[in-house]
Amino acid sequence: MSAEDARRFVIGKMFNYTCFEGTRGTGRVLADGSVVGSIQFQGRGEMRYAHLPPNTLRVKGESVCASLRGMPLEPCFTLTRLDANSFRGAISGLGFAYCEFTRHHGRPAVARTANNNSSSSHEPLGLRPSVTAER
């Protein structure tokens, strides 16, 4: 899939992802190259909120590259469409290092309050990482 095809396929849509070493989560790429979502590294620990600033993801030729502060290099990815709802992104030159992305159809989960109070509230709901209440 060309970088421009990927842009049309991905921008603004929610995807679940799973990577070769166990990292997983959900995310959305916005038109400005920013990313918002959740991540759980290597399938362990808490699911954490993640936000990458504008211009993090950029099209370079037929690849999509990531510019991350603190990284000495800018990794680029080869994208392969798997079906109508999913694609694989592999680090260019390292085909074994990939993540598979599947379009998430449905509404995003909303974080609940720590006390799980059943009374109705007139406060707006927020999309924040959930916190496990101590029992």
Average pLDDT of the chain is 79
pLDDT at 128: 41
Cα 97 to the center of its chain, rounded Å: 16
pLDDT the model gives residue 98: 92
CA distances from 110 to 22, 72, 125, 134 (A): 24, 36, 7, 19
**How far is it, in rounded angstroms, from Cα 49 to Cα 79?**
25
For the segment 78-93, what is each residue's pLDDT rounded down to a tens digit? 889 999 999 998 988 8
Whether this prediction's pTM lies above 0.85 is answered by no
Q: Which residue ranges make up each domain of the chain?
A: 3-103
Instruction: Kindly tell me if the per-residue pLDDT of 71 is higher than 90.
Output: no
- The predicted-structure confidence for 12-51, as pLDDT tens digits, reads as follows 999 999 999 999 999 999 999 999 999 999 888 899 999 9
Whole-number pLDDT of residue 135: 39
* CATH, domain range 3-103: 2.40.128
Element (H, E) at 64: strand 63-66
Which of 104, 133, 132, 125 minimizes the C-alpha distance to 46?
132
